[in-house]
């Protein structure tokens, strides 16, 4: 294998708190090992456009606490085509880049896998997504911050729910993964939750509300993942109003607040650790895999497995949340 002297780093897909901490770790670890790092703007789109610039350690000063990503991010339609990927690779060659660190989620790693298979460039992926939906790591960069943001919002909504005896449906992100909704429900003491991985029904919700009514409890919280099986929060609220008219039902969508903000301590440490591990893994000849942390230890998982293997919340955690919410 060619000796690695220049590493390109980029962020792609949805942003997540901690991406900047990961970039910082890649740049500073590389500098320690006398490697040059080049930042690629706007993910794969910037790779096609040739927006590639040298990054020095000083460029990463004062960013560990910042949300978003200093390298920007985007989703590239052109990269989905072979011609687009060929242009991207030619730009990497023109800048003498020997290897890549790709920070993102499923889509980012799917693109990295194509780039590796077609051109053989060594790539290590870092799991940067709030959804926590990648196999091969206990937590993804940004998940902890996202849950903390949701919990803070739900705690404030609870005050209003209690004061007015209202039932709030609080919708959080999670089209394909219920991790954010599940963790938010557990930590906020919600009465119920709706996630893609659990087949909750309107009948089940109505039964739960009737039990609460018999206890003279008229306020509560239901945490709704946007990808649940019943529908969006507004439609669920409409059905509940018709079948449980005793409740004053309101809907709140937290939305993109969950993607922004200063990363938590846990996300800063996770991102720093994985950024460092990405550099040392490339130096050790690893490639075509994602770096994660499993049971406190570094774990390298092939892109195919990270993308395709099951990463759903464990059933015992779902059952516990259901019991505690009663």
Neighbours of 186 (CB within 10 A): 19
Token couple for 185: 């429900």
Neighbours of 282 (CB within 10 A): 24
Alpha carbon distance 100, 231 (integer Å) = 40
| Number of alpha carbons in the 13 Å side-chain half-sphere of residue 214 | 6
Token couple for 258: 């969950």
Alpha carbon distance 141, 308 (integer Å) = 19
Neighbours of 305 (CB within 10 A): 13
Q: Is 131 a catalytic residue?
A: yes
Choosing from 15, 83, 98, 131, the catalytic residue is 131
Show the beta-strand stretches assigned E in the chain. 6-11, 36-40, 52-55, 99-104, 123-127, 166-172, 192-194, 220-225, 248-253, 289-294, 297-302
User: DSSP character for 256?
Assistant: G
Alpha carbon distance 289, 295 (integer Å) = 18
Q: Could you tell me how far CA 176 lies from the centroid of its own chain?
A: 11
Start-to-end CA distance of the chain, whole Å, equals: 58
What is the three-class DSSP state of 190?
coil
The arrangement of strands across the sheet holding 166-172 comes to: 192-194, 220-225, 166-172, 248-253
Alpha carbon distance 93, 106 (integer Å) = 25
Neighbours of 318 (CB within 10 A): 19
Q: Which positions are catalytic?
A: 131
């Amino acid at each position: 294998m060619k000796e690695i002297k220049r590493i390109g780093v980029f962020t792609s897909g949805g942003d997540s708190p901690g991406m900047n901490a990961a970039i910082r770790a890649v740049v500073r670890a590389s500098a320690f090992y006398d490697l040059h790092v080049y930042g690629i703007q706007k993910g794969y789109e910037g790779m096609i456009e040739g927006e590639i610039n040298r990054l020095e350690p000083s460029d990463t000063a004062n960013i560990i606490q910042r949300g978003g990503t200093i390298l920007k991010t985007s989703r590239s339609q052109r990269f989905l085509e072979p011609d687009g990927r060929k242009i991207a690779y030619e730009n990497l060659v023109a800048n003498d880049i020997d290897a890549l660190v790709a920070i993102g989620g499923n889509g980012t790693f799917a693109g990295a896998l194509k780039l590796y298979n077609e051109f053989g460039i060594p790539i290590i992926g870092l799991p940067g997504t709030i959804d926590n939906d990648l196999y091969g790591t206990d937590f993804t960069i940004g998940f902890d911050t996202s849950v903390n943001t949701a919990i803070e919002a739900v705690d404030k909504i609870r005050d209003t729910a209690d004061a007015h005896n209202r039932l709030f449906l609080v919708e959080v992100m999670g089209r394909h993964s219920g991790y954010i909704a599940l963790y938010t429900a557990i930590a906020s003491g919600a009465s119920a939750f709706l996630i893609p991985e659990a087949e909750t029904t309107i009948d089940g919700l109505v039964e739960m509300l009737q039990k609460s009514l018999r206890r003279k409890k008229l306020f509560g919280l239901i945490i709704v993942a946007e990808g649940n099986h019943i529908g969006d929060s507004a439609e669920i609220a409409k059905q509940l109003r018709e079948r449980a008219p005793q409740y004053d039902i309101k809907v709140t969508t937290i939305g993109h607040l969950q993607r922004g903000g200063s990363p938590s301590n846990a996300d800063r440490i996770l991102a720093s650790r994985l950024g460092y591990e990405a550099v040392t893994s490339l130096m050790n000849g690893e490639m075509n895999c994602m770096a994660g942390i499993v049971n406190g230890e570094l774990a390298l998982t092939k892109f195919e497995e990270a993308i395709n293997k099951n990463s759903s919340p464990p059933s015992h955690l779902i059952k516990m949340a259901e019991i505690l919410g009663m």
